[in-house]
């Protein structure tokens, strides 16, 4: 049973060694250990603050990103609107030019038709004038005493001229 009950000397030397180790640890190891723990605590605290700051910056960047996306969407809508307006303007200009071109062509066609009509009228007048002169010349060359014979002759000459020209 002696092993289970420590002796007084063993207790004394165990206490002396414990106090001696405690004194040595306090003098040489305790400050560096506490300093290392403080440094670690500050490092962790700084890391947490940096993480919080980064989180806030990320939130700010996210809002900036969303604002930029919104601006990009607005610019896209504006560009599409401007492109549509330009397209409509080009189409309107093309239609206007087509109308102007059609009006010019119609006007030229009308003038051409009018000129041809006038030429035809002048040609018909010239032919009628020639026919009248031919008929008058033939009538004057042949003097008839009978008026009925003269009218029949003029009619026959007019018929002959119309059949010749057709």
Residue 111 tokens read as: 């003038």
3-state secondary structure of 163: helix
| pLDDT tier for residue 128 given thresholds of 50, 70 and 90 | confident
Task: Read off the pLDDT of residues 39-51 as tens digits, 9 standing for 90 and up.
Answer: 999 999 999 999 9
What's the rounded Cα separation, in Å, for the pair 15 and 157?
169
Q: Is residue 21 predicted with pLDDT exceeding 60?
A: yes
- Name residue, tokens 């003097």: 143
More confident residue, 164 or 43: 43
Predicted local distance difference test score (pLDDT) of residue 136: 75
Write the secondary structure of 79-108 as one string of H (helix), E (strand) and C (coil).
Answer: HHHHHHHHHHHHHHHHHHHHHHHHHHHHHH
Q: Residues 151, 155, 161, 166: what is their CA dihedral angle, to the nearest 10 degrees?
A: 170
Kindly provide the b/e burial profile for residues 114-135, where b requires at least 16 CB atoms within 10 angstroms of the residue's own CB. Answer: eeeeeeeeeeeeeeeeebeeeb
Average pLDDT over residues 66-81: 93
Judged by average pLDDT, the poorest of 32-41, 51-60, 138-147 is 138-147
Task: Read off the pLDDT of residues 105-114 as tens digits, 9 standing for 90 and up.
Answer: 999 999 999 9
Query: CA–CA distance from 56 to each of 53, 65, 84, 165 (Å)?
Result: 5, 14, 42, 106
Task: Read off the pLDDT of residues 130-163 as tens digits, 9 standing for 90 and up.
Answer: 887 777 777 666 665 667 777 777 788 778 877 7
Contact 153, 139 (CB under 8 A): yes
Predicted local distance difference test score (pLDDT) of residue 153: 77
Predicted local distance difference test score (pLDDT) of residue 2: 62
Residue 90 tokens read as: 């080009």
What's the rounded Cα separation, in Å, for the pair 161 and 164?
5
Q: Is residue 1 predicted with pLDDT exceeding 60?
A: no
What's the rounded Cα separation, in Å, for the pair 68 and 153?
104
Q: Is residue 90 predicted with pLDDT exceeding 70?
A: yes
Predicted local distance difference test score (pLDDT) of residue 93: 94
- Name residue, tokens 């009308």: 110
Query: CA–CA distance from 116 to each of 84, 106, 125, 165, 166 (Å)?
Result: 47, 15, 14, 19, 19
């Amino acid at each position: 049973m002696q092993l289970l009950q420590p002796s007084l000397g063993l207790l004394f030397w165990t206490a002396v060694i414990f106090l001696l180790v405690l004194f040595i640890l306090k003098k040489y190891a305790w400050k560096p250990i506490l300093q290392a723990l403080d440094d670690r605590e500050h490092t962790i605290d700084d890391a947490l603050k940096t993480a919080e700051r980064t989180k806030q910056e990320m939130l700010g960047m996210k809002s900036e990103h969303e604002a930029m996306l919104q601006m990009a969407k607005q610019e896209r809508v504006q560009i599409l609107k401007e492109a549509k307006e330009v397209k409509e303007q080009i189409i309107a200009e093309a239609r206007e030019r087509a109308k102007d071109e059609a009006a010019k062509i119609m006007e030229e066609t009308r003038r051409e038709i009018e000129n041809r009509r006038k030429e035809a009228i002048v040609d018909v007048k010239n032919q009628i004038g020639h026919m009248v002169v031919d008929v008058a010349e033939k009538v004057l060359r042949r003097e008839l005493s009978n008026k009925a014979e003269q009218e029949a002759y003029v009619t026959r000459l007019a018929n002959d001229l119309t059949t010749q020209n057709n």
